[in-house]
DNA sequence: AGGACTGTTCCGCG
DNA sequence: GCGCGGAACAGTCC
């Protein structure tokens, strides 16, 4: 699924496609999505915003909340209907905007704008790591009490929102930290390194992937891999020349350089 | 054929 | 009670 930077890109795109325009119609192509937009037809759409990995699109007095899970995307259908579209919004003066989601794990909800805060309050989701500056002390405080490895801790949405499987590997790489290091073993310098690595990674992805549609590196053969270690097992580390390896943590793939990410 | 996959939630275990 | 890891969800692509 899209992680924080990809959802940020999609949010900016949706804002450009929808903000200030009227919703002319909605097609629910996958009833399992379970969202009824009939009451929102004709309403003006406001600026989309992001919270964690959620995208929120105001429509009149309501908000459409999307979560993309593993394979979801918000796309503009400028060249016709897309395969795996689950929901299509017809937008005044703009091509349709579709929620495309191959594996259909994504979710959607439509709620009164006034209930959005309560909606998020009911989801265990910590504060945003970006764009507000966060220092090492902030990170240490957010992850205090966790005893597992740092990679899993970085992905803990209840502590800090938005970082996913790729961000966790890439953050550890940038921080020169073995992702298997236990949280209690980290020192002040490690927390500072994490604090610097996270925004650097997010902004790198925003620069690399911004465009009308985010690309999954395992999708087709087109997209170049914008990451330093993710999906680069067997390649050389661009920093020390060591070998990038793939390991499994909690059932998920982790990538790291065996040469320059010592364990704490 | 079998496994992998940018996420979340539920369950059992320690 | 809390934290952790595995399984399940689902479809496609090697």
A3 tagged catalytic: yes
Domain membership of residue A131 (yes or no) is no
CA–CA separation, A20 and A92 (whole Å): 9
Joined together, the tokens standing for residue A84 give 């795996």
Per the domain annotation, does A248 fall within a domain? no
Inside any domain, residue A151: yes
Q: Which nt sits closest to A125, CA to C1'?
A: B8
Q: Mean pLDDT for chain A?
A: 95
Q: Which of residues 103-142 of A touch strand B (CB under 7 A)?
A: 105, 123-124
Shared domain for A104 and A181, answered yes or no, is no
Query: Are A80 and A146 contained in the same domain?
Result: no
Distance A74 CA to C13 C1' (A): 21
**Residue A156 sits in the same domain as residue A109:** no
Burial of A83 (0-12, 13-18, 19+ CB in 10 A): exposed
Locate tokens 């065996």: which residue? A258
> Is residue A222 scored above 80 in pLDDT?
no
Averaged pLDDT for residues A60-85? 96
Cα A179 to the center of its chain, rounded Å: 20
Which of chain C's bases lie under 7 Å from a protein CB? 2-7, 9-12, 14
pLDDT digits (tens, 9 = 90+) for A182-219: 999 999 999 999 999 999 999 999 999 888 888 776 66
Q: Give the residue nearest to nucleotide B7 (CA to C1').
A: A69
**Distance from C-alpha of A136 to C-alpha of A191, rounded to nearest angstrom:** 4
Asked if residue A197 and residue A164 are part of one domain, the reply reads yes
In chain A, the DSSP E strands lie at 23-28, 49-51, 54-59, 62-67, 72-76, 85-91, 94-101, 107-112, 244-249, 252-257
Domain boundary among A91, A121, A151: A121
Domains: count for chain A:
2
User: Does at least one atom of strand B sit less than 7 Å from the CB of A179?
Assistant: no
In a shared domain, residues A91 and A149 = no
The answer on pLDDT for A221 being more than 60 is no
Residues A19 and A105 in one domain: yes
In this complex, the nucleotide whose C1' atom is nearest to the CA atom of residue A32 is C10
Closest CA to A139 of A124, A122, A156, A123: A156
Residue A38 sits in which domain range?
Answer: 4-121
User: What is the pLDDT averaged over residues A164-185?
Assistant: 97
Q: Does A258 map to a domain?
A: no
How high is the pLDDT of residue A217? Answer: 65
Residue A100 lies in a domain: yes
User: What confidence tens digit (pLDDT) does each residue in A16-52 have?
Assistant: 999 999 999 999 999 999 999 999 999 999 999 999 9
Q: How far apart are CA A123 and CA A128, in angstroms?
A: 14
φ and ψ at residue A96, rounded to 5 degrees = -60, 150
Residue A126 class from Cβ within 10 Å (0-12 exposed, 13-18 middle, 19+ buried)?
Answer: middle
Q: Are residues A92 and A146 in the same domain?
A: no
**Catalytic status, residue A88:** no
> Is A156 within 7 A of strand C by CB distance?
yes
End-to-end CA distance of chain A: 30
Residue A128 lies in a domain: no
Q: A85 and A151: one domain? A: no
Q: Is residue A262 flagged as an active site residue?
A: no
Q: Would A238 be classed as within a structural domain?
A: no
Average pLDDT rounded to a whole number, residues A220-240: 87
State the CATH number of the domain containing residue A66: 3.20.190.10
Report if residue A15 sits inside a domain. yes
Overall pTM surpassing 0.85 (yes/no): yes
What residues pair up with A5 in beta bridges, in sequence order? none
């Amino acid at each position: 699924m899209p992680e924080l930077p990809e959802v940020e890109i999609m949010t900016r795109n949706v804002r450009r496609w929808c903000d200030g325009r009227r919703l002319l119609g909605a097609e629910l192509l996958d009833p399992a999505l379970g969202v009824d937009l009939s009451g929102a037809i004709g309403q003006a759409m406001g600026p989309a915003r992001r919270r964690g990995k959620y995208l929120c699109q105001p429509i009149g007095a309501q908000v459409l909340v999307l979560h993309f899970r593993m394979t979801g995307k918000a796309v503009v259908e400028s060249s016709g209907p897309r395969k795996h579209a689950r929901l299509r919004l017809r937008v005044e003066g703009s091509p349709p905007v579709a929620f495309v989601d191959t594996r259909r794990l994504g979710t959607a909800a439509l709620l009164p704008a006034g209930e959005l805060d309560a909606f998020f309050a009911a989801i265990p989701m910590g504060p945003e790591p970006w764009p507000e500056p966060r220092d090492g002390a902030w990170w240490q405080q957010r992850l205090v009490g966790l005893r597992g490895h740092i990679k899993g801790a970085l992905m803990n949405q209840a502590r800090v929102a938005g970082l996913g499987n790729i961000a966790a590997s890439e953050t550890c790489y940038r921080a020169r930290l073995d992702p298997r290091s236990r949280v209690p073993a980290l020192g002040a310098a490690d927390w500072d390194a994490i604090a610097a690595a996270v925004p650097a990674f997010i902004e790198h992805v925003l620069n690399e992937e911004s465009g009308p549609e985010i690309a999954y590196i395992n999708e087709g053969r087109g997209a170049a891999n914008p990451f330093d270690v993710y999906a680069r097992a067997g390649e050389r580390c661009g920093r020390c020349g060591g070998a990038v390896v793939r390991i499994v943590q909690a059932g998920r793939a982790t990538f790291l350089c065996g040469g320059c990410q010592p364990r704490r």
